[in-house]
A and B are shown apart, each in its own frame.
Chain A
Amino acid sequence: MAAALPDDPELARRLADREEAAFTMVVDAWSPGMLRLARSFVTTDDSASEVLQDTWLAVITGVGAFEGRSSLRTWVYRILVNTAKRRGERESRVVPWSSWAPDATEAGPTVDPSRFQGPTEDYPGHWRAFPQEWPEDEALAGETVAIIRAAMERLPVRQRIVMTLRDVEGCSSEEVCAILEISAVNQRVLLHRARAAIRTVLESYFTSVDPSADDREQEVPS
């Protein structure tokens, strides 16, 4: 994302120098992603907008303290997350942000166990029927993205936040751990469950647009 931004030291210096063109650049490059992230922590669009504004204010006044230990974007996103958490707590949104450990509903298989053969069958633990290749159909691309967006809205909020940062924003796992202050393991478990859930939704969709894919039996490898 954010092509053509100057490198971090230059950007931080220009922001500290109160250069309006530099501020415009980062605001336009990062605000859409920040707003989307903020929206997962608070209850309304207006709240998310205020979190965005408070964050940028904190960036303007605090950028002189940026030491380059993370990327500038990670540093800004961390301010956003902390601002959004405080705001979310004031709105008494019932999400305990102190814990990012997967909860009881976030354990167990991410693929329906009935997709695999049972212990008395020929190949226990192997696919009954193989997943199908999905069509590389340009005509479906827009629809696919719309389905993903809607399905991500329904994910448990921590999973949604992690998948948004990783797969929509394109952050690395290290960046996500730094932004959210979570462990690599928790990050991975949340991302894994989120991706698996979205894959399942897409699989149902592709099966419905291509009914012949529904019950094709495939041989299992010997």
Chain B
Amino acid sequence: MTTMDCDKLVELVTAYLDESLDSETQRRVVDHLALCDGCQAYVAQVRATIRSAGQVEPVPVDSATRDRLMEAFRKHSR
């Protein structure tokens, strides 16, 4: 059986989450994760990082900029 070490797995997490690994490597990652609490925790941390990044709030557009945009739109609509 081909095994995968934890230090190799951590470098494949992004490709794993994107499902862009070849099927053999994907299987090795899945097999390793099934047995390794450490790598499970690592992947959970990466997922938590992604979730929290999704909470970063947008940059508000100030009203002057928005007004100029709408003005430009109206000018080009005439």
Contact = CB atoms under 8 A, between A and B. Distances in A.
Interface of A: 18, 20, 23-24, 27-28, 31-33, 35-36, 39, 49, 52-53, 56-57, 60-61, 109-111, 113, 115-116, 124-127, 130-134, 141, 144-145, 148-149, 152, 163, 167-168, 170, 173, 184, 188, 191-192, 195-196, 198-199, 202-203, 218, 220-221
Q: Sort chain B's interface into a size bin.
A: 35 or more
Nearest to A22: B73
Contact of B53 (A27, A28, A130, A163): A163
A218 B38 contact: yes
Contacts of A192: 11, 13-15
B interface secondary structure, majority:
helix
A180 B35 CA distance: 38
Contacts of A53: 65, 68-69, 72
Contacts of B18: 173, 188
Contact of B58 (A33, A49, A188, A220): A33
A168 B57 CA distance: 8
Given A125-B5, A195-B14, A168 B38 contact: no
A173 to B, nearest CB: 6
Given A126-B5, A152-B56, A110 B10 contact: yes
Contacts of A116: 5-7
Contact of B76 (A49, A61, A126, A173): A61
A141 B11 CA distance: 26
Contacts of A170: 54
Nearest to A27: B69
Contacts of A145: 52, 55-57
Contact of A24 (B56, B70, B77): B70
B41 to A, nearest CB: 4
Interface string B30-61: 00000111110110111011101111111111
Closest 4 pairs between A and B when the two form their complex, measured CB to CB: A125-B5, A32-B58, A130-B38, A192-B14
Contacts of A218: 37-38
A173 B37 CA distance: 28
Given A18-B73, A18-B76, 11 more contacts: A23-B70, A52-B61, A53-B65, A53-B72, A110-B10, A163-B53, A198-B49, A198-B53, A199-B45, A199-B49, A221-B36
